[in-house]
Amino acid sequence: MKTFFMKIFVQIASYRDPQLVHTIKNMIDNAKKPKNLRFGIARQFHSDDKFDDLSEYDEDNRFKIINIPYQESKGVCWARNLTQQLYDGEEYTLQIDSHMRFAPNWDDEMIKMIKQLQKKGHKKPLLTGYVSSFDPDNDPQGRVQEPWRMVFDRFIPEGAVFFLPETIPGWQDLTEPVTARFYSAHYCFTLGEFSNEVQHNPEYYFHGEEISIAARAYTWGYDLFHPHKVLIWHEYTRKGRTKQWDDDKEWVRRNNTSHLLNRKLFGMDGETQEGHDGPFGFGPNRTLKDYEKYSGLLFSKRAVQQETLDKKYPPNTYNYSNEEEWLNSFATIFKHCIDVGYSQVPEKDYDFWVVAFHDDKDETIFRKDADKAEIQRMMNDPDGYCKVWREFQTTHKPKYWVVWPHSESKGWCDRLTGNL
Together in a domain, 270 and 356: no
pLDDT digits (tens, 9 = 90+) for 387-412: 999 999 988 889 999 999 999 999 99
Together in a domain, 360 and 230: no
- Contact of 75 with 205, CB cutoff 8 Å: yes
Residues 6+ apart with CB under 8 A from 216: 198, 280, 281, 282, 283
| Confidence grade of residue 22 (pLDDT, cut at 50, 70, 90) | very high
Exposed (0-12), middle (13-18) or buried (19+): which is 144, by Cβ within 10 Å? middle
- The neighbour count for residue 276, using CB atoms within 10 Å, is 17
What does the alpha-carbon distance between residue 419 and residue 397 come to, in Å, rounded to a whole number? 11
| Confidence grade of residue 4 (pLDDT, cut at 50, 70, 90) | low
Within 13 Å of residue 73, how many CA atoms lie on the same side as its CB?
29
Together in a domain, 327 and 339: no
Together in a domain, 284 and 374: no
Task: Spell out the long-range contacts of 376-383 with Cβ–Cβ below 8 A and sequence spacing 24 or more.
Answer: 378/340, 379/342, 379/345
Together in a domain, 298 and 397: no
9-19: average pLDDT: 97
Host H or E run for residue 354: strand 350-358
Together in a domain, 226 and 323: yes
Last residue of a domain, one of 310, 331, 352: 331
| Confidence grade of residue 153 (pLDDT, cut at 50, 70, 90) | very high
Structurally, how many domains does the chain consist of?
Answer: 2
Together in a domain, 278 and 317: yes
Together in a domain, 321 and 348: no
| DSSP type of residue 292 | H
Residues 6+ apart with CB under 8 A from 374: none
What does the alpha-carbon distance between residue 125 and residue 123 come to, in Å, rounded to a whole number? 6
Together in a domain, 268 and 392: no
Together in a domain, 288 and 345: no
- Contact of 160 with 135, CB cutoff 8 Å: no
- State residue 5's pLDDT score: 62
Together in a domain, 305 and 354: no
Host H or E run for residue 308: helix 306-309
**pLDDT above 60 for 3:** no
**pLDDT above 90 for 365:** yes
- Contact of 126 with 222, CB cutoff 8 Å: yes
**In this predicted model, which residue has the larger pLDDT, 239 or 57?**
57
pLDDT digits (tens, 9 = 90+) for 172-182: 999 999 999 99
Within 13 Å of residue 177, how many CA atoms lie on the same side as its CB?
30
Largest CA distance in the chain: 75
Provide the residue range defining the domain that includes 386: 334-419
Give the CATH number of the domain where residue 135 resides.
3.90.550.10
pLDDT digits (tens, 9 = 90+) for 266-284: 999 889 998 888 899 999 9
The phi, psi pair for 406, rounded to 5°, reads -125, 130
Radius of gyration of the chain (CA): 23
Together in a domain, 208 and 177: yes
312-328: average pLDDT: 95
Last residue of a domain, one of 331, 359, 386: 331
H helices of 174-296, where? 194-197, 209-219, 244-247, 251-266, 288-295
Packed helices 209-219 and 251-266: angle between N→C axes, nearest 10 degrees: 30
